[in-house]
Each structure stands twice: as C-alpha cells, then as structure tokens.
Amino acid sequence: MNKNFLRDILNGKKRLLKKNQVNFIHVPYFDELSVKNLWEDVKDDEEIQYYFQDKFPNEKGPNRKYFFDILNTIHPIYLRNIMEHSSKQRYTTTGDA
C-alpha cells in the first residue's frame, strides 16, 4: 500500500474489504498461475480495480497473496476455472505440451 492508494481509499475512489469478507485461498505456484500473467487479464476489470493501486513500480505487480485473495473474493468462479484448467494441463497426459 502506498500513500496514493491510501488517499484514494479515504476519498472513496478505492476500497478495502474487512478481513471476514475476504475468501482466502492458497494458489499453487504454477507458471500459468503467476500474478504477472493473470494481472494482464484482470487489470482492466472495474470491480477488481477498486482494490488495487493504479500504478506499480517497474516490473512489479500486486502482492501475490493479496491478488489471489481479492480475485477469489470478487470472481471466485473465474479463479476456480483457471486453477482447474491449470491442474488438468499439468497432471494429465492429455494436457498441452
């Protein structure tokens, strides 16, 4: 969290969730489940943007645990589908090379 994000929260432009509202999740450390890959897909989602700062330092993105917990809270079906697809690709012989 930086001062600009905190300012946006206080001004009502950004939001935080109470801890009991967050659906915590453990996401395996697969390349296809990296924050860098998934951030590109969800960064323009209006619902997601309320919970993340607008800019990150070069080559950085949101914190991994925070990112997946928020994604699981806002779009749980999307995250579950991505995780299932990723596991299927990794652990079956029919998965793509």
Half-sphere exposure of 24 (CA within 13 A, CB side): 4
Query: Cα–chain-centroid distance for residue 88?
Result: 21
Amino acid at 66: Y
pLDDT at 9: 93
Q: How far apart are CA 20 and CA 16, in angstroms?
A: 12
pLDDT at 31: 87
Q: Count Cβ atoms below 10 Å from residue 43 Cβ, excluding itself.
A: 14
CB neighbours of 47 closer than 8 A, spacing ≥ 6? 74, 75
Q: What is the pLDDT along the chain (97 residues), one digit of tens a residue?
A: 789 999 999 999 999 999 999 999 999 998 889 998 899 899 899 999 999 998 888 778 899 999 999 999 999 999 999 999 988 888 776 655 5
pLDDT at 57: 81
Query: Cα–chain-centroid distance for residue 54?
Result: 14
